[in-house]
Copies of this chain bind each other. A is one copy, B any other.
Amino acid sequence: MIRHFSVAAGADRRSQVGIGVVGYGYWGPNLVRNFAEQPDARMVAVCDARTERLNSVAIRHPSVGVTDDFQDLLNAPDIDAIAVATPSKSHYSLARQALLAGKHVLVEKPMTQTSEQAEELVELADRRGLVLMVDHTFAYTGSVQKIRELVNNNELGRLYYWDSVRVNLGLFQQDVSVLDDLAVHDLSIMDHVLGMLPEAVAATGVAHVPGRPVNTAYLTCYFATDMLAHFHVNWLSPVKVRRTLIGGDRRMVVYDDNEPSEKVKVYDSGITVGEDEDRRIELKIGYRAGDVWAPKLPLDEALNVETAHFVECIRESKVPRTDGRAGWRVVRILETAARSLAEHGRPIEISWSPAVTKSDVATPGSAA
């Protein structure tokens, strides 16, 4: 006989974390799908103002409730945590309401539009003892975890530079610049891997379409050391590039997220100081100085790892890997970059309050 399981049969619903998701556009469906597959979570309801998006939820996830009123999520007693996947201008307001309603919160990146908003959310979550996590998805990939491990174990040695290129064809949006849309990924990766805070930021860019935000931008971060970090983001590139070079005096890393199987490659550094003409000619002709190694990486979907981590942090009162402070730090850099961009690329210093680094940020050379 064809049986129909009662919904979520076999799991103790009381011990599961109830999840509400607000925003069912591009990313929301991924959140819903991944939360629906977490054994310790229950996907309770989705909120979106658009009826056709709610219909789409019903077709794919018939057992998940839907509503067009965010208040319903706040009021639902079986919702313990809310994931905010709306356009970034509403992140602050929705996350704040959720925290005030006693819900744990996962927010899309960039976490807020201003660092003041980010700071307020962090303080609110601290005061209420709630988990506040930002969806810096790349921090949960095997690639970024491997690079973090290499840096923390001092495999790269003293760091010389971080160079990221993230360019592709993208839609010009009304109120989100290419920095908020693309550089946010690289800044969150660098924050997670290095745990170093820039002392100054400079940015330059162009908004080629009148009335639209900047679509091509270059961002530079200056640190207390002589490490230089640079980011190229662009919505007008005919090709998709996702490549980060990280140079150290012992080893160097190429992280190419477009590569199907060898996303992270580690190169013996091969730096030479000297006037040796033969060596110079050899380097001109040759391509590299030592062996190359591509470590095997786990294949788990990052968002699966991340949603499981969010649920675990709620159940075990842990600080997330990408907590509200990580979101705050990245927002701080983005808003400073926007100011520099408005001032024709003038480098602008950032002073960091101790509160923003309270979370356990790894320092290169220390244990992971």
Q: Which residues of A contact B (CB under 8 A)?
A: 1-5, 7-10, 25-26, 36-37, 44-45, 55, 58-60, 62-63, 65-67, 69, 72-73, 76, 160-161, 163, 165, 167-174, 202, 204-206, 208-209, 212, 216, 218, 220, 226-228, 230, 232, 234, 236-240, 245, 247, 249, 252-254, 258, 260-262, 265, 267-277, 279-296, 299, 344-347
The answer to whether B238 and A252 have CB atoms under 8 Å apart is yes
The answer to whether B270 and A174 have CB atoms under 8 Å apart is no
- Complex: how many Å from CA A168 to CA B281? 13
**For residue A282, which residues in chain B have a CB less than 8 angstroms away from its CB?**
299
The answer to whether B288 and A239 have CB atoms under 8 Å apart is yes
The answer to whether B296 and A288 have CB atoms under 8 Å apart is yes
Closest B residue, CB atoms, query A58: B5
The answer to whether A238 and B288 have CB atoms under 8 Å apart is yes
Identical chains in the assembly: 4
A118 CB, min distance to chain B CBs, angstroms: 25
**For residue A272, which residues in chain B have a CB less than 8 angstroms away from its CB?**
171-172
- Complex: how many Å from CA A271 to CA B171? 8
The answer to whether A254 and B238 have CB atoms under 8 Å apart is yes
- Contacts A2-B67, A25-B277, A238-B288 supplied; 16 other A-B pairs, CB < 8 Å: A2-B44, A2-B65, A163-B234, A169-B271, A169-B289, A171-B283, A173-B280, A174-B275, A204-B228, A206-B228, A236-B271, A238-B265, A268-B296, A292-B293, A293-B293, A294-B294
* Contact with A10, one of B55, B227, B269 (Cβ below 8 angstroms): B55
**For residue A5, which residues in chain B have a CB less than 8 angstroms away from its CB?**
55, 58, 62, 66
A59 CB, min distance to chain B CBs, angstroms: 7
The answer to whether B281 and A26 have CB atoms under 8 Å apart is yes
**For residue A275, which residues in chain B have a CB less than 8 angstroms away from its CB?**
171, 173-174
Closest B residue, CB atoms, query A284: B26
